[in-house]
Chains A and B, each alone.
Chain A
Amino acid sequence: MMDTAPLLQVKGLVKHFPIYRGVFQRQVASVRAVDDITFDVTRGEAFGLVGESGCGKSTAGRTILQLYKPTAGNVIFDGVDLTKLSDEKLRRMRRRAQMIFQDPYASLNPRMTIGQIIAEPMLVHGLATHKEVTEKVKEYLRIVRLNPGFASRFPHEFSGGQRQRVGIARALALQPDFIVCDEPISALDVSIQAQIVNLMEELQARLSLTYLFIAHDLSMVRHISHRVAVMYLGILVELSDREELYNHPLHPYTQALLSAVPVPDPAVQKNRKRIILQGDVPSAVNPPSGCRFRTRCRLAQALCAEQTPAWREASAKHWVACHFA
């Protein structure tokens, strides 16, 4: 199923948001939301990106799609560097790389019908004429298991899970190769999450899609992804195959993150040895020197403050950035 050539190559991607102050609105500092991340996503793969809120995972997703203009770095999608494209060429490229958003309530226009919402991208990109579009909308509603008769209804008539299906149909309508899924299930009820994840997996197999799956729920990421990258304060700290990452996490942050996931089994949950991280994620305006995780790390030593750990391949296809891992 998987082709070995990477569909997406992210090279040294940086996104800083400037902070302006004073009468003259001079730039005084910047939020270093994404600070030099590099990874490949293989065709047909589901690539998971996890981390706590504020670690820059959503910014990374949006910068990859050029919804934010990167401060530095390259995003090479199917051989083309998106950061160097003209606006017009980028617009045409966007058809192939779509996004599913976190909040199914905020990401659908309340004044448009479901049919209009799904039809709009097809009309904009010239994938359907006004005549054909009604039929196509029905087809996509069927694909995401919604009643095709719903096309004339408005978003407020639907539940969260149904709205997320509409969001998926809208992304699919352009027949993309690549979809950035930005926490697509975290706003949904527990009993609905599994429905949406199953649908996304089925669609991936059927339409040979490539996913960048951004989430903070590690058990769901493990379920859906082939490879997983862990982000902390704007940088990648670990990247590996799913099984390897969950069975042999190397970075102390990944270890802590995994041990914090509650297990729905009282016998396990009550007796588990847990690594409880102290404190909060530091500010991305002024990240700690050296290793960014050192302020909360149980292994931290003087070296960690002085030297930034290199991004190295600790074992085959298992990358980590830590002096002691």
Chain B
Amino acid sequence: MPPITSSLPILQLEGLVTQFNTPEGTLFAVNNVSFDLQEGEVLGVVGESGCGKSVTMLSMLRLTPGKVISGQAFFNQQDLLSISLNELNKIRCLEISMVFQDPMCSLNPVITIGKQIAEPLEFHLGYSKKQARNRVVELLSLVGIPEARKRLDDYPHQFSGGMRQRCMIAMALSCNPKIVIADEPTTALDVTIQAQIVELVQRLQSEMGMSLIWITHDLGVIAGLAERVIVMYGGKIIEEAGVKELYKNPRHPYTVGLLESLPKLTDTKHQSLQAIDGVPPVLYQKPTHCTFAPRCKYAIDDCWEMEPKLEEVGKAHRVACWAVDRVKRIVE
């Protein structure tokens, strides 16, 4: 696995702003998000529901129903957010593909699995029906579906949840993409099946060498999988660091709080969990201060007046917090 290098990133997102027009007013879903993805890197994106992690990724591929107000997403010197739809279609699936959270909702229930996975092969790569069918068998075996040839003509409902997610992964890998974005691929699954899928994706990633963005709310899954982690809150990146650094030395009060609130399997003495008070924000107003301030026990006056910017606090470790020095003192 390559370390974080200074080479040109394969994907570069700059200043993404996405908003939704709802009957209740404008929802500020993503507020100025920028990040890089290196070639062959596994990037974890962590956050709670509504923090903007999925919308960020969907906006990049122009799949969101919301409105992308500004931002650029560079892939191969092309800005995904301004090229024509025709050009974008060549990048979707061929270069960047996605695995969605709920495999039941993202597979078409009235088309056989074989046909669904063959579709991008025929459409993008011009395979004949027969070639595509053979390739689908290969792909299904690759993702660990037993007796793949027999199962080609089965419908999604004949597969279990874990098997459906394997089919989604086969579909995402069908055109050998350079980047796979996995949006909470194991959230709907049991822990034992989650472990199977994580192991599968890890194996495929190291064999095929693609870059992987893994979105989740589970800090446990990401610990074993990612090399670098982005933590999102209120539509912004609030912390970004290498995986070891983030868990050993979290600096944003939200990240600290999340890690403290988890019960650990290795805990021996019984004590109350350290809960974060309050609830995640719903952003109907443009944030003008730190969105975490209402729940933050370290908040100072500045937090209520200005939005913090991501600033370097250590090697490849960036945090958006006005009270970051205070947090460090108190945690220690």
Contacts and interface: CB of A to CB of B under 8 A. Distances in A.
Contacts of A263: 220, 223-224, 264-266
B190 interface: yes
Given A277-B196, A280-B162, A264 B272 contact: no
Interface string B213-237: 0000111110110000000000000
A195 B277 contact: yes
Interface in A268-283: 268-270, 272, 274, 276-278, 280
Contacts, number: 124
A107 interface: no
A269 B224 CA distance: 5
Contact of B247 (A194, A195, A265, A278): A265
B191 A194 contact: no
B163 interface: yes
Contact of A261 (B49, B193, B219, B220): B220
Given A263-B220, A264-B247, A270-B224, A222 B263 contact: yes
Contacts of A269: 220, 223-224
Contact of A258 (B257, B265, B268): B265
A43 B48 CA distance: 36
A189 B49 contact: yes
Given A194-B276, A218-B191, A277-B196, A264 B223 contact: yes
A267 B223 CA distance: 8
B190 A190 contact: no
A192 interface: yes
B196 A276 contact: yes
A270 B247 CA distance: 13
A246 B264 CA distance: 11
A276 B220 contact: no
Interface in A243-290: 243, 246, 256-270, 272, 274, 276-278, 280
A194 B274 contact: yes
Interface string B161-191: 0110000000000000000000000000011
A267 B279 contact: no
Given A191-B48, A198-B272, A280-B163, A266 B223 contact: yes
A266 B243 contact: yes
A170 to B, nearest CB: 20
A323 interface: no
A219 B263 contact: yes
B264 A219 contact: yes
A223 B273 contact: yes
A274 B196 CA distance: 10
Interface string A174-213: 0000000000000001111111011001000000000000
Interface in A128-163: 159, 161-162
B274 A262 contact: no
B195 interface: yes
B82 to A, nearest CB: 35
Query: A-B pairs with the 7 shortest C-beta distances?
Result: A262-B220, A269-B224, A223-B263, A194-B275, A194-B261, A194-B273, A260-B195
Given A162-B279, A191-B254, A263-B224, 8 more contacts: A159-B279, A198-B275, A222-B267, A223-B263, A262-B191, A264-B223, A265-B223, A276-B196
28 contacts: A52-B192, A189-B49, A189-B217, A191-B254, A191-B276, A194-B275, A194-B276, A198-B273, A219-B263, A223-B263, A223-B267, A223-B273, A260-B194, A262-B198, A262-B223, A263-B220, A263-B264, A263-B265, A264-B223, A266-B223, A266-B243, A270-B223, A274-B199, A276-B192, A278-B196, A280-B162, A280-B163, A280-B193
